Structure 1
Amino acid sequence: MEELTRRVVESTTLDPTIAKAAIGHVLMFLRDEVPEGHVGELIDKMTGAREAVAAAQAKSDGGVTQAIEGMTSFMGHGRADLNILIGKLANLGLSAEQSRRLLEETLARAEVLIGAEGVAKIRAMLPAMAERSGMASPPGEEGEMRPRA
């Protein structure tokens, strides 16, 4: 977790406390949305990740979650959860670019810990997130976000 936090801070210029909170929200979202337990494996292998997810779960957002759930319930479970994640990251002060970099760094660290196959499962759900948060896929790689090495 410390390595990921350091890389996120360097990439986004976020305060380390904000970076850790944002990482916790992303890991919690991915854990709930990605099938086959690959994010669970990542959380198990990343020291401090369980604590970051627990802190993200405990953090109140002043009713934003309930409002977004109400407005987006007709869109389906995944879309509503994505809107909630984007809202939580925005509440932490992250711009769309900082959110994109946060995801890139999270995936880069995940690949080190769980391998390319596990990360491929995670990436399979990211096109919708990229579309909703303004994070573009690299040219020629539609539907897939690639983290930097």
Structure 2
Amino acid sequence: MEKLTTDVMDATGLDPSIAKAAIGHVLLFLRNEAPQGRVAEFIDKTPKAQEAIEAAAAHGDGGVTVAIEGMTSFMGRGRADTNILAGRLANLGLDERQIMALVSRIVSRAEILLGPEDAARIKSLLPMLDERLGIAPAHEARPDPGMA
């Protein structure tokens, strides 16, 4: 988790506490979308990931979740959930560029730990962020060899 946090900080310019909270929110989202299988394995293989998830779950979002759920409930579960995630990240102060870099680094880490195919499956849980931010498919991510 420390290497991932450092990598996210380098890519986004975020402070350590904000980077950890943002990672926690993405991992919480992934765990909620697919609590079993490769997501669980990715979380298990990422030291201190569970702590980041618990911190994100305990962190209030200033009403962002309720507002977004109300506005997007007619769009279907996946889109609303992804918009909630985007809202929570924005509430932490992340802009679209930082969100794109955050997700890219998490997907790159998943690629290192699980391989490109499973990283692509994990990334597929974030379809609306993909469309909104133009995030490259997992197989196009360029992992840092030092993240292993």
Judge same fold: TM > 0.5, yes or no: yes
1:94 corresponds to: 94
Cα deviation, residue 130, structure 1: 1.8
Bigger Cα displacement from structure 2, 70-79 vs 18-27: 70-79
State whether residues 31 and 37 of structure 1, in contact with CA within 8 Å, keep that contact through their aligned partners in structure 2. Answer: no
Q: Quickly say closer, same or farther: Cα 1:137–1:46, change in 2 above 3 A.
A: closer
* Aligned with 1:148 (options 139, 142, 148): 142
| TM-score normalised by the chain length of structure 1 | 0.88
2:146 corresponds to: none
1:18 corresponds to: 18
Q: Quickly say closer, same or farther: Cα 1:8–1:40, change in 2 above 3 A.
A: same
Unaligned ranges ≥5, structure 1? 139-143
Q: Distance in 2 between matches of 1:7 and 1:83?
A: 24
Q: Quickly say closer, same or farther: Cα 1:137–1:87, change in 2 above 3 A.
A: closer
CA deviation string 1:60-81 (max 9, x = no partner): 1122111111111111111111
Identity of aligned residues (%): 56
Aligned length: 142
1:106 corresponds to: 106
| TM-score normalised by the chain length of structure 2 | 0.88
Bigger Cα displacement from structure 2, 54-63 vs 113-122: 113-122
Q: Distance in 2 between matches of 1:128 and 1:60?
A: 23
1:40-79 matched pairs, under 5 angstroms? 40-79=40-79
Q: Distance in 2 between matches of 1:125 and 1:112?
A: 18
